[in-house]
């Protein structure tokens, strides 16, 4: 059966890899994500993943303690490469072929980011993990997700979060918050809802790239989205 999305860009935050811990990588959580992702890959979906680094280090953290922001952001980017290596290993243990590409070249451990090469890997059925964000300080991995998705001509950005979509208010704080099934880019801006940071969000908007926000901890969600079911919130 043909799926709705042929090529996806999945954004996995660093925090998603912590599981119930408050720091680092939880192997069980990682293995569970790897299982879901590999199932999709085996069914023929082309999958690129941008991984965050917030479970290890965020630039803002260092900057708040007096470190230079740019320097500290580079440390954050290195954290995403550590996560990328962990994710690569977990996916490979599930039997997938995986290439890790870093926006900051580190030839001993991964490929440098080369757009055409990334696309070629996807066409061959390999999962591509993008590390080191955009390679530039003062950006986030959400922006890297939007940028890479546009570059590789992904059909959609799938942003996995702890909540199952975009709400009228923060559902973890406001019991009356109502979930949107679909919402336009303009309405997200008008209502000042937080989907991604502004740089990431406007990149998607300007390039007409839909975003789906969904619960990464729902083991069925990813598969259902790719098949075209209305899961999470579609921003388009």
Q: Which of residues 25-54 bind ligand UDP (CB under 6 A)?
A: 52-54
Nearer to ligand UDP, 136 or 217 (CB): 136
Using the rule CB under 6 A, is 137 a contact of ligand UDP?
Answer: yes
Spatial separation of the C-alpha atoms in residues 182 and 173, rounded to whole Å: 22
- Considering only 8, 58, 205, 222, the residue that binds ligand UDP (CB under 6 A) is 58
Q: Per-residue DSSP letters for 118-183?
A: HHHHHHTT-EEEEESTTSSTT--HHHHHHHHHHHTT-SEEEEEESSSS-BSS-TTT-TT--B-SEE
Cβ of residue 144: shortest distance to ligand UDP, in angstroms? 5
The reply to whether 125 sits near ligand UDP by the rule CB under 6 A is: no
Count of C-beta atoms within a 10 Å radius of residue 68: 12
Structure tokens at 72: 């500290």
Whichever of 13 and 88 has its CB closer to ligand UDP, that residue is 13
Beta bridge partners of 48: 9, 128
Interface with ligand UDP (CB under 6 A), residue from 3, 6, 15, 215:
15
**Quick one: tokens of 140?**
């986030």
Instruction: Return the axis-axis angle of helices 69-93 and 27-42, rounded to nearest 10°.
Output: 60
Which of these segments, 38-46, 58-66, 104-112, 120-128, binds ligand UDP (CB under 6 A)? 58-66
Q: Kindly state whether residue 77 participates in binding ligand UDP, applying the rule CB under 6 A.
A: yes
Interface with ligand UDP (CB under 6 A), residue from 136, 182, 199, 202: 136
Helices (H) and strands (E) in the chain, counts: 8, 9
Binding-site ranges for ligand UDP (CB under 6 A): 13-15, 52-54, 58-60, 73, 76-77, 79-80, 133-134, 136-137, 139-141, 143-144
């Amino acid at each position: 059966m043909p799926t709705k999305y042929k090529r996806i860009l999945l954004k996995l935050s660093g925090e998603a890899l912590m599981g119930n811990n408050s720091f680092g990588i939880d192997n069980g959580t990682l293995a569970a994500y790897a299982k879901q992702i590999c199932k999709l890959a085996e069914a023929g979906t082309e999958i690129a993943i941008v991984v965050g680094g917030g479970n290890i280090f965020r630039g803002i953290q260092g900057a708040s303690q007096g470190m230079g922001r740019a320097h500290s952001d580079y440390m954050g980017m290195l954290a995403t490469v550590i996560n990328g290596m962990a994710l690569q290993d977990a996916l490979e243990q599930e039997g997938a072929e995986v290439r890790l590409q870093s926006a900051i070249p580190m030839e001993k451990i991964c490929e440098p980011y080369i757009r055409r090469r990334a696309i070629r890997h996807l066409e061959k059925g390999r999962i591509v993990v993008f590390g080191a964000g955009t390679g530039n300080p003062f950006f986030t991995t959400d922006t890297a997700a939007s940028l890479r998705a546009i570059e590789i001509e992904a059909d959609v950005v799938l942003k996995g979060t702890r909540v199952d979509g975009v709400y009228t208010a923060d559902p973890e704080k406001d019991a009356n918050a109502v979930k949107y099934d679909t919402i336009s880019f303009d309405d997200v801006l008008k209502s000042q809802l937080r989907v991604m940071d502004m740089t990431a969000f406007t990149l998607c908007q300007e390039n007409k790239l839909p975003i789906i926000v969904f619960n990464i901890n729902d083991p069925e969600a990813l598969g259902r989205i790719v098949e075209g079911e209305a899961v999470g919130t579609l921003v388009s």
